[in-house]
């Protein structure tokens, strides 16, 4: 081959890797002689939309670098791929295209598998899975029934976010600005019977274990910590008074409204009680109070997410009820139904302290309720005291001293909390309590394309588990998407069955599992993908935990938290013995591109435009184009680049190299045509290096008479091996690419006619091929072959460096005088301490600071630093 033909080279080596099964993981056998240590690297599996995008290219390239690197280091690497194949997009596609979701999904999987294979990814395709197959989801049906037996699954009525367009429940995180994340429809609150998994059972354990996840990004650990949200506070009883002037006094007198608060120190500043619109008391009032009923209906339009209620105008309905203040004798507080209180958080009721909570202040301002400050800021002027400190439009939420709080006055916030605990306990109106923000996981979804929940509802026997010999409960094929609502509920026959217990006519559960159910254990299935129980405990014991997990930070809470819970739950019911599924986590940044619009504001694809001097114009008619911001690639703004086009034009190695060289993997990167062309030029350059017929033959040995320049190149190779090894281990792939550029330049600039040049270049180019193999594997294999090797580079060990050869003969040493850096000197490596001291003291800068005096002491840390004590 006379030139670098990337498409031809890449197809050749992809076929070769496949034929030789280079990436098939060895079966676990620690007793075998010379067995390899295991390494499990996994990227979050994709939804089969039909086409890969540049985010996929980046994510899977990162994982492939790790997998190939660890395999070369001698590990038994498990690097699998599969498909997160259930979900509403397939159902929507079925309605739009008149095609069955299963057929659409299978076709998409086939297309995306081909696209991924064109990237040269080192997957063990023998372990491929798709979550929509009965062979996969039958196991999660069994898992669910084991959870049910263990009390980890249960059914209850719950207020949910309902998408009226997609006719399904949405998780709080799927509600964006009060609207469904896919449909954009305003979300409603509905009361439905739902299946839940008891994730709260492990709340304390999940929280405590975060500290041990030391190979996770700090921001992800913080996000999980905040989501679990452990709070120390007080549960307080506010008793409804029997004031004869109070509305419905006889009906409600003596009852208590329970409130959990993390700020009992602000009790003296309370001016109202607010309860959720679906609080039992509010619902009871609404049965005979039309105003309360109408207000509850209005609240139902908000959805149930915290984000929805935080951004909505604070509204309330005065019930006419009052409660006794728990620590102030004779004082009462009015009770309002409020749209910013959620039943699923805390007790569904709060006490409002407007001076020190912005939400409460907004509400109090709207309804003319008192605002009494009870915390005086630490930095308040001396002229400001309890009588003169006021709150206007901004609540004070910082530290300070308690004021207007009776015997608590003068205490700081923390001491005030402790005093409140004591006072409440003595009065019998409250007690200290620990609670969590985390709520149990609602797994019911009203859709067709999901795993059927294996329950049968019988009028006589209740909810009955489907017997094991009747699993899996499979989805019906003849489904109708023309009717609104849940297709399973609308199916004429599938839902009808007989009760396994009494034999009477019964109904199948018509909800399916949340798709997070499938993704919460798929990593275990890869360990043993053909096992009759989903996976074997022995395989899980060998492969788990995943050594390196890679995916987007958008999954930092739900997927990762659910997976952590699932692993614990499966351990509790006997599947395995493991707590944490992912030992290491890397979250990659997004791939961005500049946006373009024509004169009418229509978004344009990057392939539609070209530069015209300092401006942009359309390729078709040279019309003026407005270049906009650099943003995350998105179909809506058309700032996307087709990976197939890039791979077909430049080759997969070019795309991979640019993805790795642009920026650190955890940061966003900008895709630029100039960057891609630069990566392509570099690969052509190193291909020409390997094609040079003046380099020495294989197994050539450096002559004793080698020129110092040739010896320097050998030293550079050893230094590069050490540096790139560390860079890949630390995920500094962009720095590794920079090291490769430096090495290739050193090879190119070595004169061919000096002694030892041919041998040094042979040594350097061979190591260059090995070092670049994890990043751009196709050209590395081709170079290895061009250099005369008949072995596979994919099966070749990682190069090793001699630290003694890599070490510089001289080192730069900082010299400090009285702890401050005053000079830098160059010394022979490992020189005697007395020589180092003499050169340091001879430095002009050091002499100037000593002012002719002898130092009291000189401390030499060999090859690192010299401290002079004057």
pLDDT digits 0-9 by tens, 712-725: 999 999 999 999 99
Section 43-69 average pLDDT: 94
Give the pLDDT confidence score for residue 3 in this predicted structure: 84
- For 447, how many CA atoms within 13 A lie in the half-sphere containing its CB? 28
**How would residue 59 be classed by pLDDT, with cut points 50, 70 and 90?**
very high
Assign domain 6-128+516-588 to a CATH class.
alpha beta
Give the pLDDT confidence score for residue 93 in this predicted structure: 83
**How would residue 10 be classed by pLDDT, with cut points 50, 70 and 90?**
very high
Question: How much of the chain exceeds pLDDT 70, in percent?
Answer: 97
**How would residue 757 be classed by pLDDT, with cut points 50, 70 and 90?**
very high
Architecture of domain 672-806: Orthogonal Bundle (1.10)
Section 205-217 average pLDDT: 96
Give the pLDDT confidence score for residue 536 in this predicted structure: 94
Architecture of domain 230-436: Alpha-Beta Complex (3.90)
Match domain 808-869 to its CATH number in 3.30.200.20, 3.10.20.590, 3.40.1370.10, 3.40.50.800.
Answer: 3.10.20.590
**How would residue 804 be classed by pLDDT, with cut points 50, 70 and 90?**
confident
Give the pLDDT confidence score for residue 744 in this predicted structure: 97
Give the pLDDT confidence score for residue 316 in this predicted structure: 96
pLDDT digits 0-9 by tens, 79-111: 999 999 998 888 888 888 889 999 999 999 999
Peptide bond into 178 cis (omega under 30): no
Query: Which residue from 232, 223, 307 is spatially nearest to 561, judged by alpha carbons?
Result: 223
Instruction: Tell me the domain boundaries of the chain.
Output: 6-128+516-588, 141-226+445-512, 230-436, 672-806, 808-869
Give the pLDDT confidence score for residue 266 in this predicted structure: 97
- Region of residue 819 (left: phi > 0; alpha: psi -120 to 50; beta: else): left
Give the pLDDT confidence score for residue 685 in this predicted structure: 96
Q: Outline where 312-373 has alpha helix (H).
A: 358-367
pLDDT digits 0-9 by tens, 354-387: 999 999 999 999 999 999 999 999 888 888 888 8
Q: Which of 12-21, 406-415, 482-491, 501-510 has the lowest mean pLDDT?
A: 482-491
**How would residue 258 be classed by pLDDT, with cut points 50, 70 and 90?**
very high
Dig out the tokens for 196 from the structure: 């839940």
Q: Is the dihedral of CA 421, 427, 430, 434 positive or negative?
A: positive
pLDDT digits 0-9 by tens, 623-669: 999 999 988 888 888 888 888 999 999 999 999 999 999 888 888 88
Give the pLDDT confidence score for residue 248 in this predicted structure: 58
Give the pLDDT confidence score for residue 1 in this predicted structure: 60
Give the pLDDT confidence score for residue 13 in this predicted structure: 97
Sheet holding 188-197, edge to edge: 168-170, 153-163, 188-197, 441-442
SS3 600: coil
* Contact predicate 777/68, CB 8 Å: yes
Section 48-76 average pLDDT: 94
Taking 60 as the threshold, does the pLDDT of residue 161 lie above it? yes
Domains 230-436 and 672-806 belong to one CATH topology: no
Taking 60 as the threshold, does the pLDDT of residue 246 lie above it? no
**How would residue 179 be classed by pLDDT, with cut points 50, 70 and 90?**
confident
Give the pLDDT confidence score for residue 458 in this predicted structure: 97
pTM, 2 dp: 0.85
Please indicate whether residue 306 or residue 462 has the higher confidence score (pLDDT): 462
Give pairs for 738-742: CB < 8 Å, separation 24+. 738/661, 740/768, 740/771, 740/772, 740/775, 741/682, 742/716
Taking 80 as the threshold, does the pLDDT of residue 391 lie above it? yes
Q: Which of 310-319, 466-475, 579-588 has the lowest mean pLDDT?
A: 310-319
**How would residue 309 be classed by pLDDT, with cut points 50, 70 and 90?**
low
Continuous segment of H or E residues that includes residue 265: none
Q: Which of 71-80, 111-120, 578-587, 598-607 has the lowest mean pLDDT?
A: 598-607
Distance CA 767, CA 801 (A): 10
Continuous segment of H or E residues that includes residue 180: strand 179-180
Give the pLDDT confidence score for residue 250 in this predicted structure: 65
Average pLDDT, whole number, for the chain?
Answer: 92
Distance CA 858, CA 840 (A): 9
Give the pLDDT confidence score for residue 245 in this predicted structure: 58
Taking 90 as the threshold, does the pLDDT of residue 48 lie above it? yes
Sheet holding 316-324, edge to edge: 316-324, 332-338, 272-275, 349-352
Distance CA 75, CA 79 (A): 12
Taking 90 as the threshold, does the pLDDT of residue 811 lie above it? no
**How would residue 30 be classed by pLDDT, with cut points 50, 70 and 90?**
low
Helices 777-786 & 673-691 angle (0-180, nearest 10): 20
pLDDT digits 0-9 by tens, 669-691: 888 888 999 999 999 999 999 99
Query: Which residue from 129, 130, 123 is spatially nearest to 21, judged by alpha carbons?
Result: 123
């Amino acid at each position: 081959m006379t030139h670098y033909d990337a498409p031809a080279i890449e197809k050749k080596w992809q076929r070769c890797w496949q034929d030789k099964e280079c990436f098939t993981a060895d079966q676990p056998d620690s007793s075998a002689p010379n067995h390899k240590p295991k390494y499990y690297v996994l990227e979050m599996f994709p939804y089969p939309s039909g086409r890969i995008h540049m985010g996929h290219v980046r994510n899977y390239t990162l994982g492939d670098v790790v997998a190939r690197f660890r395999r070369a280091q001698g590990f038994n690497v498990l690097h699998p791929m599969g498909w997160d194949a259930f979900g509403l997009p397939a159902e929507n596609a079925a309605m739009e295209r008149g095609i069955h979701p299963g057929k659409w999904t299978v076709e998409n999987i086939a297309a995306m598998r081909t696209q991924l294979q064109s990237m040269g990814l080192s997957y063990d395709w023998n372990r491929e899975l798709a979550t929509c197959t009965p062979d996969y989801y039958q196991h999660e049906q069994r898992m669910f029934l084991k959870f049910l037996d263990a009390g980890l699954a249960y059914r209850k009525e719950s207020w949910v976010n309902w998408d009226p367009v997609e006719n399904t429940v949405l998780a709080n995180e799927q509600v964006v600005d009060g609207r469904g994340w896919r449909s954009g429809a305003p979300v409603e609150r509905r009361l439905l019977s739902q299946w839940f998994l008891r994730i709260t059972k492990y709340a304390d354990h999940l929280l405590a274990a975060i500290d041990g996840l030391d190979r996770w990004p700090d921001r992800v650990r913080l996000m999980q910590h905040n989501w679990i949200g452990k709070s120390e506070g007080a549960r307080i009883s506010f008793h409804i008074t029997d004031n004869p002037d109070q509305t419905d006094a006889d009906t409600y007198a003596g009852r208590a409204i329970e409130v959990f608060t993390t700020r009992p120190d602000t009790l003296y500043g309370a001016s109202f009680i607010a309860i959720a619109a679906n609080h039992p008391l509010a619902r009871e009032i609404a049965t005979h109070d039309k105003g309360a009923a109408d207000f509850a209906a209005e609240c139902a339009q908000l959805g149930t997410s915290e984000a929805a209620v935080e951004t909505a105008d604070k509204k309330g309905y005065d019930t006419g009820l009052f409660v006794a203040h728990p620590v102030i004798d004779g004082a009462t507080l009015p009770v309002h139904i409020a749209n910013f209180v959620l039943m699923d958080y805390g007790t569904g009721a709060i006490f409002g302290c407007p001076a020190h909570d912005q939400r409460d202040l907004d509400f109090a301002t709207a309804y003319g309720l008192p605002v009494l400050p009870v915390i005086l800021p630490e930095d308040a002027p001396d002229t400001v005291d309890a009588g003169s400190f006021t709150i206007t439009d901004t609540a004070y939420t910082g530290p300070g001293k308690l004021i207007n709080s009776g015997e608590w006055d003068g205490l700081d916030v923390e001491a005030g909390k402790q005093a409140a605990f004591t006072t409440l306990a003595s009065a019998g109106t409250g007690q200290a309590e620990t609670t969590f923000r985390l709520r149990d996981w609602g797994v019911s979804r009203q859709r067709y394309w999901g795993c059927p929940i294996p329950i049968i509802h019988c009028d006589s026997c209740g909810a009955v588990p489907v017997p094991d010999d009747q699993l899996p409960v499979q989805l019906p094929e003849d489904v109708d998407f023309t009717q609104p609502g849940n297709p399973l509920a609308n199916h004429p026959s599938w839902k009808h069955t007989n009760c396994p217990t009494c034999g009477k006519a019964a109904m199948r559960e018509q909800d399916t599992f949340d798709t997070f159910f499938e993704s919460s254990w798929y990593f275990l299935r890869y360990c043993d993908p053909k096992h009759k129980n989903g996976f074997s405990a022995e395989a899980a014991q060998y492969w788990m935990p995943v050594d390196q997990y890679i995916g987007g930070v958008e999954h930092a809470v739900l997927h990762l938290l659910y997976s952590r819970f699932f692993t614990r739950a499966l351990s509790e019911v006997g599947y395995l013995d493991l707590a944490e599924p992912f030992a290491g986590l890397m979250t990659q940044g997004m791939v961005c591109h500049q946006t373009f619009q024509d004169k009418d504001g229509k978004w344009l694809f990057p392939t539609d435009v070209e530069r015209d001097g300092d401006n942009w114009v359309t390729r078709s008619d040279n019309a003026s184009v407005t270049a906009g911001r650099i943003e995350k690639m998105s179909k809506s703004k058309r700032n996307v680049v087709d990976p197939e086009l890039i791979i077909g034009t430049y080759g997969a190695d070019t795309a991979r190299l640019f993805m790795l060289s642009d920026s650190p993997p955890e940061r966003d990167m900008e895709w630029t045509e100039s960057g891609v062309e630069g990566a392509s030029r570099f690969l052509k350059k190193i291909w020409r290096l390997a094609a040079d017929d003046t380099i020495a033959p294989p197994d050539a040995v450096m002559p004793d008479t080698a020129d110092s320049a040739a010896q320097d190149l050998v030293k550079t190779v050893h230094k590069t091996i050490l540096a790139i090894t560390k860079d890949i281990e630390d995920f500094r792939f962009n720095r590794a690419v920079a090291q490769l550029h430096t090495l290739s330049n050193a090879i190119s600039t070595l004169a061919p006619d000096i002694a030892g040049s041919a041998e040094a270049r042979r040594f350097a180019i061979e190591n260059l091929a090995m070092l670049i193999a994890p990043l751009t594997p196709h050209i590395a294999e081709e170079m290895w072959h061009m250099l005369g090797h008949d072995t596979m580079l994919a099966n070749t060990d990682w190069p090793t460096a001699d630290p003694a050869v890599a070490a510089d003969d001289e080192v730069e040493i900082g010299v400090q005088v009285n702890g401050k850096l005053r000079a830098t000197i160059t010394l022979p490596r490992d020189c005697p301490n007395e020589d180092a001291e003499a050169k340091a003291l001879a430095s002009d800068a050091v002499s100037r600071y000593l002012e002719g005096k002898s130092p009291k002491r000189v401390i030499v840390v060999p090859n690192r630093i010299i401290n002079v004590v004057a």
